[in-house]
Amino acid sequence: MPLPSSTFPAQEKRQLMASQMANVFFSESLFDAMPDIVFFVKDSEGRYLVVNHTLVRRCGGRDKESLLGKKAEELFPVSLAASYAAQDALVLSGKKEIHDQLELHLYPNRSPGWCLTQKIPLRDTRHQIIGMTGISRDLAMPDQRHPVYAKIATAVKHLHQNYTQTIAMADLVKLTGLSVAQLERNFHKIFSLTPRQMMVKIRLDAASSLLAESKLSITDIAVACGYQDHSAFSRIFKATVGMTPSEYRDVMVRK
């Protein structure tokens, strides 16, 4: 007589289900229904094996088949592709997983949009890395119904008004009357960002607008956006956007 299913450990149930499934990428159809989320699976060489409709649209593709089997350098501008490939290499090597990485993406019409990216390796039954999967979720509108929204909104307003200056966590604590832990927890619940990520976003929003719409030098833009020098600004900009300020300006000028 077979044992009741409740006696099987969860790990065994998962393995049994996996062996019986016709499509191990069943989640693809779920992510197809989420227009604010990019979803993909790549092989060990960084080639797309599974994508959702959102990724296809943002790459300007006709259909999923137009992306499958291709690498980042075949779909994105050179500077962006190099950044994505370097990020993928770290994940595929097992050296790093990407969690809540704030990134500024460029859509086919060159309009910028902020998202949070997650990337993790995929392993076989011998625990060897055979690929990777990831999602990039667009930042949602803040939850204005949250009970401390007004306090957190006050902190965000302060960041917007003073992003050219150095703002310490103690300043936001004093302004809101919340502890550091409460501030960080509620910031994340309402905006899906930490206070530091919000400051980076605000500064780079201002910087990307100046890069696209003004003829100021990169150094002048760095200072105008609260960075002490050109190199610090360029380093953070590239880590977040995937290209240098100069490369971003070139892309936006061509749009």
Tell whether the torsion through CA atoms of 177, 180, 186 and 192 is positive or negative: positive
How many residues appear in the chain?
255
Answer with the one of 138, 158, 188 that is the final residue of a domain.
138
Residue 18 lies in a domain: no
CATH code, domain carrying 35: 3.30.450.20
Q: Does one domain contain both 80 and 169?
A: no
Q: What value does the CA radius of gyration of the chain take, rounded to a whole number of Å?
A: 21
**pTM, entire model:** 0.77
Residue 111 lies in a domain: yes
In 3D space, the residue among 78, 97, 77 whose CA is nearest the CA of residue 87 turns out to be: 97
Domain count along the chain: 2
Residue 3 has pLDDT above 60, yes or no: no
Q: Does one domain contain both 218 and 182?
A: yes
Answer with the one of 75, 108, 138 that is the final residue of a domain.
138
Q: Does one domain contain both 235 and 212?
A: yes
Q: Does one domain contain both 105 and 164?
A: no
Residue 7 lies in a domain: no
**Share of residues in the chain with pLDDT > 90 (%):** 70
Helices (H), 127-229: 149-161, 169-176, 180-191, 195-213, 218-224
Element (H, E) at 235: helix 230-241
Answer with the one of 99, 116, 138 that is the final residue of a domain.
138
Q: Does one domain contain both 168 and 88?
A: no
d(C-alpha 65, C-alpha 59), whole Å: 12
pLDDT, tens digit, 9 for 90 and up, residues 211-233: 999 999 999 999 999 998 899 99
Average pLDDT over the chain reads 89
Q: Which residues contact 161 (CB under 8 A, 6 or more apart)?
A: none
Residue 4 has pLDDT above 80, yes or no: no
Q: Does one domain contain both 133 and 160?
A: no
Q: What is the pLDDT of residue 255?
A: 56
Q: Does one domain contain both 70 and 124?
A: yes
Residue 112 lies in a domain: yes
Q: Does one domain contain both 130 and 169?
A: no
Q: Does one domain contain both 92 and 174?
A: no
Tell me the CB-side half-sphere exposure of residue 8, using CA atoms within 13 A: 12
Residue 8 lies in a domain: no
CATH code, domain carrying 243: 1.10.10.60
Residue 80 has pLDDT above 90, yes or no: no
Q: Does one domain contain both 58 and 162?
A: no
Give the range of the structural domain holding residue 205, as residue numbers without chain letter. 149-253
